[in-house]
Structure 1
Amino acid sequence: MLIPSVDNVTWDAETGVSMEWSVTLGEGVDRLVRIRIGYFDSGDVYLLDYDVTLTPGVTSGSLVLGFVDADRVSVRADAIDWMEAFGPSSNSKSVPSERPIYRISMSELASPSRPTAGQDATVQVTLSNTGDVSGVAGEILLLGEDRTLYATLSTDALDAGESTTMSFTLDWPEGTRVKLEAVWAVGGEQLTTLGSFTSAEAAVVEDAFEFPWVGLLGGIALAGAVVAAVRIRQNQALKPSSKSKSKSKIKPKKTAETVASDVKIQIGCPECARQLRVPASYTGSVRCPDCSNRFEVEGTSAEEEEEPEEVEEEEVEIVDEKVEVSCPECAQSLRVPSDYAGSVRCPACEHVFKANG
């Protein structure tokens, strides 16, 4: 009698598939047996295949097959140079289908709730195993939207149904909305989760909608001041005597220079002796309207004055009392001041003659 048997098959996240097997040899002498142990994957795959001399009784062992893609494991025993009386030559058993089921999630509430750029802030990531078997240790990474690595933490193996929370503290990046990604590498898998957080800049925009009490009260106070000023001016308008007095008080006094500039003096044209009136303080060029002669005059002032800039010619004031004279060449009538005794140019023939001659 030669009976092979798969006694137990297990799967765990650390080693994969493991099995315990045994071969029972009936009474008699020691006999040579070929033993093959493996799994089924579109056909038999044997990881162990060897010949051994068995003594009557039960021979047992164990084998770790690892992370194989198999539904069943098997053990086969064949007699060498002898014939077994009865019994199967092989035995198999299904691989357990239970596996750890990993989950990852990120809380979208940071601490503080709305960090500012450059501030130390903490975010939390929750890891869980919702499967029926224990998981394995792993590693979790915290990345920014631009793939900047902010932190790395190791994770312990989670038993079936167990969960844990990992906390990351980082220097908060810039931006009104900050996006982070957590990557959990565990048991040959990579699980990711994303989180989006509001920074303090966004809170400033919301605060801007608060009612502007300070501005409102300031506007009311300003309006009151304007109304009071208008009423004061209206009351002053009803008192002409007071108004005239106030005006006389603020009326600027004339300076000596201003008084001097208002006085006009008479000067004679050096060409035709025509009398012209110019301001006493005027210094510059004067043109005689009769003979068109230009000459310089120098004004007088009480105080030393700065060099005047070039000014336009001052119009002279001509004495209003005039008499008619005739040009001896063309008999053209001309009007000249009654007290004028100089030369006159006829505008028609341009003849120059004495006005009193």
Structure 2
Amino acid sequence: MRNNFHIFVSLYVAILLAPFSYENYEPRPFLVSEISEKYSAESTNFTSSGESGVLISGEPAHLGDAMRAAVLVSNSGNISGSAWLLLENLDSGENFTGNPVAISPGSTREISTSFYPSISGVNSFNWSILTINGEIENSDLVGQFTIQASKRQTLETAIESYVWDEDNGLSVQLSIFLSEGRPREIQLFSKIGFEGSVHNLQQISVEVEPGRRLIELYLGNPLVDYLFIEATPSGWEVNESSTNISQLDILMPIVNPSSLSISASFDPIKPLEGESVIATITLQNNGEFSTSSGNLRLILLSENIIVNEVVVQPVNPSSSISTQIMIPSWPDGSNVDFRAQWNAGDVSAKSDYSIESITEDQGLELPFDIFSATIGAFSGIVVIMLGTFIWRAVSTKTPSVTNARMRETTESAKSSGAISKKEISCNYCDQRLMVPHEHVGAVKCPSCTMEFIVGEKKNEPQVVKSSGPNLNCPECEQTLRVPLDKRPTMSRCPICRTEFLAEKGEL
């Protein structure tokens, strides 16, 4: 029972008897008539308005449906009072009580409460209007009524089919069945499962009539592995045999790799060896379908290592996103080759970049080597000073020196000053160089600052062949990248400094 009004009435009477003291208490029969006589001058007088009795709404009813009972009550007394409606289900013994309603003298108010049928078939109820003192003031404030309740209605939901096209995205055809009875309002929840998680996609209210009907749902272009649709009743209960949940696996359309593109910029534009560089990379989806979430990698091609990797979110059709990747330490070399690779599910896109760098020897960006130029200038000054000294010595010779001796001395000086040289090419940059004809040993090119050996028989270089752009160092097996369009060419391993000849292999 929801409320026990007999206990409430007893507590109320106890409060009225509190004024006399415990010491002077003498047991005697308690008469409610004494209280009535005391307040007979001021009282309420509740009566049912008209002869309608109790009004029932919510029929035809099914089990689980909320119904409403209401009574119009008038107060013909001279003070305000409160009253409420009590319903007792004679089949289950369950009581239903409404909220107290204050009624002023000469006023009529509706007093109501909600209730539910308990059995399928005829349900019998007693009703009564109670006041604050627990008494029923008039006989027209009590009565009885019956209602007919049917079984709970059955609700069935099934996903019949789906179509995914470029114009409408994912559209689903849903079948809903409601058994015989009243029209009902339901809530349709569309949920999607993707990579182990479930998300709410759409919620709509639908009014359904008894029978079967088809509903078309348009869900856009979500990332989805399976679709989950649930039909939930609004303010009513479904039969236990209802199947109001339906699930279906969804195959997303394949994204065309050619519709994906990558663009990148590096800050600073010309990095210095060892400094930190920020690469801003933009991923563009020019296709008709969303990509999956994935990753973006920045790969150093010379060593085939991943410099950094970040997670990227899905990219919607005809949209783009930008992200930044940090390169902690810029590699050495005048040109550094990187590859940006975007992996999104089963598809990927990549783009290669060759970045011009500033090395330590190129700090002033001069077209010649400063050290070699300084040595050349100093050597020229020495030669000029030596020639001047010899010319003065010859022009100021003493008379005792014969012409033959002078001629012999001059020819000797000329022969000692003229050093026989030969022209060679730098092995690395093809710069033309002049070296003494008899020189054997190391020579440093003033243009590319590389050293090589002249005057000795060179050992034949090792030859490495491959059909692709990548090959392995013959000494340390380090994976290196040498473009096919530059072969054959001499290459040097950045790890062990071994030089070898890179050639194309047979496909």
Q: Same fold (TM over 0.5)?
A: no
Q: Which has the larger radius of gyration?
A: 1
- Taking structure 2 as the reference length, what is the TM-score of the superposition? 0.28
What's the TM-score once normalised by structure 1's chain length?
Answer: 0.38
Q: Which has the higher contact order (CA 8 A, sep 6+)?
A: 1
